[in-house]
Amino acid sequence: MRTRAGPTSRSARSTHSVKDLLKRSLPALTRLTDQAARQSLWGEWLSAHLPAEIHARVSGVNEREGTLVVFAESATWCARLRFALMELEGSLRAAHPVVQSIEVRVLPRS
């Protein structure tokens, strides 16, 4: 599918395909899909290793530049999650050596 953009004179017309437009956005799209894949991977890992009652209170997870940030839905669950992750830290780092630090923060569910 092609569209024309710009002035109506034939010599000044420029056509853009969807493929051309996506090529310009590709780095941003790639970053988003990579981030979504990492979040899914961490969600599965945490589900397999955390107790069910604690994992149910995880409201998000993000990995960026060697830091794993796990969000809990309240301050109470944040504290419990922090202790649970401290117990799992050795196996977490063994499975994912790129993780240099782990943070736990509060992020209420909407």
Beta-bridge mates of residue 60: 71
CA distances to 5, 24, 28 from 61, in Å: 41, 28, 20
pTM here is 0.72
How far apart are the C-alpha atoms of 68 and 46, rounded to whole Å?
12
pLDDT by residue (tens digit) across 27-68? 777 777 888 888 899 999 999 999 999 999 999 999 989 999
- Residue 64: partners with Cβ closer than 8 Å, 6 or more residues away: none
Q: Mean pLDDT throughout 8-36?
A: 67
Residue 11 is given by DSSP the state G
Cβ-based burial of 29 (10 A; exposed 0-12, middle 13-18, buried ≥19)? exposed
The pLDDT of residue 32: 78
